């Protein structure tokens, strides 16, 4: 996530807490698409994801006095809230089987499909190589796919990713390291170098495998 964007969202959040209700709609408009795309990685049920998004923002608006000072960084908070909301909804709808919420959070698959206008490898012109790269990413473990998405699509920092995924910062870095190593094993040299080039164009990326 760009520093200017992060500061802008947090500035709007503080303005909202100080009584400027118009800032809430600006926060919503600047974050809803990213949150929707993220939510759809856990569930392709758009109605379910939309319902969770609405609940998150309604709760945020109504409980601003109670939770406002506890939220240091708004965007990671919103990702956590959407993630938890979707997991809870899936568990609730699975009425005939006991499911531990923490286990569900850890094992929930992360659908790495991208729309044409929103691909981590959209800059790769070769259709064959594009399919190969995307196929390799899809073969990662669910948590690895999620961390790749959060790092390179949402451009979040490792401390923010750790907060969202409920892991330590060190674990977030190690997960990224393992994800890149896995991609290197899944791809031929030329395709892997192409993927690194795409990743390197994202802010603050440093290849952890050399």
Which pairs count as long-range contacts for 65-70, CB under 8 Å and 24+ apart, including other chains?
Answer: 68/13, 68/17, 69/17
Number of helical (H) and strand (E) elements in the chain, helices listed first: 11, 0
Task: Tell me, rounded to whole angstroms, the distance of Cα 194 from its chain centroid.
Answer: 23
Do residue 35 and residue 93 come from a single domain? yes
Residue span of the structural domain in which 74 resides: 3-107
pLDDT tens by residue, 21-76: 999 999 999 999 999 999 998 888 899 999 999 999 999 998 887 776 778 889 99
What is the tally of structural domains in the chain?
2
C-alpha atoms less than 13 angstroms from C-alpha of 59 in its C-beta half-sphere: 12
CATH number for the domain that contains residue 7? 1.10.1740
Rounded Cα gap, residues 62 and 89, in angstroms: 21
**Cα-only R_g, the chain:** 18
Is 27:135 a contact under the CB 8 Å cutoff? Answer: no
| Any domain includes 113 | no
Dist. CA 75–CA 154, nearest whole Å: 10
Residue 117 lies in a domain: no
- Residue 94 within a domain: yes
Query: 138-192 pLDDT, tens per residue?
Result: 888 888 889 988 988 888 899 999 999 889 999 999 999 999 899 888 888 887 8
Burial (CB count within 10 angstroms: exposed 0-12, middle 13-18, buried 19+), residue 87: buried
Q: Both tokens of residue 141? A: 């473990």
pLDDT tens across 67-102, in order?
A: 767 788 899 999 999 998 998 888 777 654 544 545
Same domain, 137 and 100: no
CATH number where 196 lies: 1.10.10.10
Is the entire prediction scored with pTM above 0.85?
no
Residue 135 and residue 97 in one domain: no
* Nearest Cα to Cα of residue 83 among 143, 14, 23: 143
Please indicate, yes or no, if residue 114 is contained in any of the structural domains: no
């Amino acid at each position: 996530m760009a520093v200017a964007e992060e500061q802008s969202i947090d500035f709007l959040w503080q303005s909202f807490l100080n009584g400027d209700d118009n800032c809430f709609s600006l926060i919503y408009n600047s974050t809803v698409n990213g949150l929707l795309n993220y939510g759809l990685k856990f569930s392709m049920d758009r109605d379910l994801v939309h319902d969770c998004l609405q609940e998150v923002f309604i709760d945020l608006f109504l409980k601003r006095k109670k939770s406002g000072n506890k939220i240091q960084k708004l965007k990671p908070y919103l990702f956590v809230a959407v993630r938890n909301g979707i997991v809870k909804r899936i568990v609730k709808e699975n009425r005939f089987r006991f499911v531990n919420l923490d286990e569900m959070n850890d094992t929930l698959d992360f659908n790495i499909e991208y729309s044409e206008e929103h691909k981590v490898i959209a800059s790769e012109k070769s259709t064959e190589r594009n399919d190969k790269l995307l196929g390799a990413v899809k073969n990662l473990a669910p948590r690895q796919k999620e961390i790749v998405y959060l790092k390179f699509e949402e451009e979040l920092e490792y401390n923010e990713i750790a907060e969202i995924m409920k892991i330590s910062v060190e674990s977030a870095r190690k997960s990224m390291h393992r994800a890149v190593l896995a991609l290197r094993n899944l791809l031929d040299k030329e395709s892997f170098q192409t993927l690194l080039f795409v990743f390197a164009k994202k802010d603050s990326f440093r290849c952890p495998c050399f």
